[in-house]
Amino acid sequence: MEDTLQAGTKLADERRRRRVHVVAVPQRGLHGHVNPMLSFCRTLISNSHHSSAPDVHVTLVVTQHWLRSTHHEAGGSDDRLGFLEADETKTEEEALERLLDTALIEPPPDLMVADGFLAWAVAVGERRNIPVASFWPASASLFTTAYHHHLLLSAHSFPLDHQSGNEGEERTDLIPGIPSIRLSDLPGEIQTNNKGVLNTITTAVTTATKAQCIIFRTMNELEEAALTALKTAISVPLFPIGPAIPYPSFTPNRKTIAPDYIKWLDTQQPNSVLYVSLGTYLSAADAQIDELAAGLNDSGIPFLWVAPNRADHHLGAILGDHTLGKVVNWCDQMKVLSHCSIGGFLTHCGWNSTLEAAFSGVPALTFPLGLDQTLNSKLMVEDWGIGWRAKTNFQDLVTRGRISELLSKFMDSEGADRKELDRRCKKLKKLLLLGVAEDGSTTTLDHLFFHVMSQINKW
């Protein structure tokens, strides 16, 4: 018996020590997909330094443009993380197949971690006998909504008629894992019955259930009900690995020269600045940008606004010389949200920004533009209690008067409502940091490694 145990321990040790080559394939062209994959890869490598984990090496497949961008944002590379350039002239599937047919990916991959929206990746893995882990870049709430959205179609009519005034306020509790939700908080493409996008999402969700496992960028402290519902509905293992964001304590400290926007924030009073970012994928209409800019001006509140491709456009005519604030094309968002001068975050509610708001402890003013952002807004406002709504539905035009009035109340640190909001933000932040600690709820990477090793040995 003792010999058997020793032999089993020796085999387990050999499996842990063997080099595991992971090929990571994000959906190219989207920061919200590439950056989380990069953060996850770094976490994999960091975890592999533990004696109980395999020796993991990762190859991240990106295009030339994203290779430059990723190196810049990563602040250098790790000797266990390599970057491989894919051919931008080919489809993602063709580019990956071509790379796999060459000696560029060496040794052959033991595991492929593919963005959940790359539905073809599972078939590539099957053809080449490579286990595939589907990396879901959005919330578990979106996954369960998409997986069960046929229940909504059988009970409600879409598209919603927001002009009627009441239809969007109707609530439903049909989706497993989603507490009672307004119809106007469902993903924008369900509300508008956008069949093309809906088909893309549902195909991604269905295909992900055929992978060897699904990796979720979430944790029980944020989406326990959705995760529980999915574990009941789906047979493949689910791994909630935490946020996969560049939180300061998750990434190595790097001494860099402070950019101008940080130097500007250093001159502001604590909790006085509103950080504004409406993302990089969906764009707000020019009329809405004009109203937002005018409302900011009228409020008299200092702001830092990240407005890609708009900083030198028509914003200057509205904001004048920016005496109240600063407009930039890009910033290190977590560094900004962690700055002591930031008192609030006006956000489009992309999943990255939603997680970063929660982990930074900064109250959110939600300004969803579509896709899953309406659902994420609901999570922040109703479920987590860390934000207020600026838009009641994503098709609203929020006027300058409404914006100015709301900002004055939102940024009033002495107001009773704002004090309660701050209290809830601090409470959730503390809970989340405990969850990602070494003995917290998201210490599932060891389980992920065990599952990966078992799959490798099967294949």
* 271 plus 373 within the same structural domain: yes
Residue 333 and residue 219 share a domain: no
Which two structure tokens, joined as six digits, stand for 29? 């062209």
Whether 231 and 323 share a structural domain: no
pLDDT digits (tens, 9 = 90+) for 92-149: 888 888 888 887 788 889 999 999 999 999 999 999 999 999 999 999 999 999 999 9
- pLDDT score at 79: 60
| CA angle (169, 368, 420) in 5-degree steps | 80
CATH number at residue 90: 3.40.50.2000
Examine the domain organization and report whether 305 and 415 are in the same domain.
yes
384 and 272 in a common domain: yes
Select from 143, 98, 95 the least CA-distant residue to 117.
Answer: 143
Which tokens go with 255?
């001494």
Residue 3 inside a domain? The answer is no
Q: Based on the fold, state whether residues 443 and 418 are members of the same structural domain.
A: no
- Residue 170 inside a domain? The answer is no
At 8 the pLDDT is 40
| Range with the poorest average pLDDT among 203-207, 283-287, 354-358 | 283-287
Q: Which residues pair with 354 in a beta bridge?
A: none
Q: 415 and 316: one domain? A: yes
- In order, the DSSP letters of 312-356 are TTTHHHHHTT-SSEEEES---HHHHHTSTTEEEEEE---HHHHHH
Helix then strand then coil, in percent of the chain rounded to 5, is 45, 15, 40
Query: What HEC string does 115-136 produce?
Result: ECCCCHHHHHHHHHCCCEEEEE
Whether residue 452 sits in one domain with residue 313:
no
Residues 6 or more apart whose Cβ sits within 8 Å of residue 294 = 318, 400, 403
Judgement on whether residues 444 and 427 belong to the same structural domain of the protein: no
Q: Are residues 442 and 430 in the same domain?
A: no
Number of structural domains the chain divides into? 2
> What's the CA gap between 340 and 323, in Å, rounded?
20
Q: Which two tokens stand for residue 163?
A: 């002009």
- Provide the residue type at 186 as one letter: L
User: Which has more pLDDT, 399 or 96?
Assistant: 399
What's the whole-number mean pLDDT along residues 31-36? 85
Identify the pLDDT of residue 233. Answer: 96
Q: Are residues 233 and 314 in the same domain?
A: no
In the block, which residue shows the tokens 């009970």?
155
166 within some domain: no
d(CA 302, CA 292): 14
Distance CA(305)–CA(342), nearest Å, equals: 12
Q: Let me know if residue 172 belongs to a domain.
A: no
Any idea which of 190-204, 297-311, 379-393, 394-408 has the lowest mean pLDDT?
297-311
Structure tokens at 393: 């539905």
Q: What is the pLDDT of residues 258-277, one digit of tens each?
A: 899 999 999 999 999 999 99
200 shares a domain with 104:
yes
Angle between helices 140-147 and 220-233 (to 10 degrees): 30
Tell me: pLDDT of 313 over 60: no
Look at residue 76 in the predicted model and tell me its pLDDT: 43
Instruction: Decide if 74 is inside a domain.
Output: yes
Q: What amino acid occupies position 45?
A: I
- Taking all residues of the chain, what is their mean pLDDT, rounded to a whole number? 85
Largest CA distance in the chain: 81
**Torsion sign, CA atoms 367, 373, 379, 384:** negative
In a domain, 184, yes or no: no
Q: pLDDT grade, residue 231 (50/70/90)?
A: very high
Residue 320: its pLDDT value, please?
62
How far is it, in rounded angstroms, from Cα 222 to Cα 219?
A: 6
Provide the domain limits for residue 90: 16-141+195-242+438-458
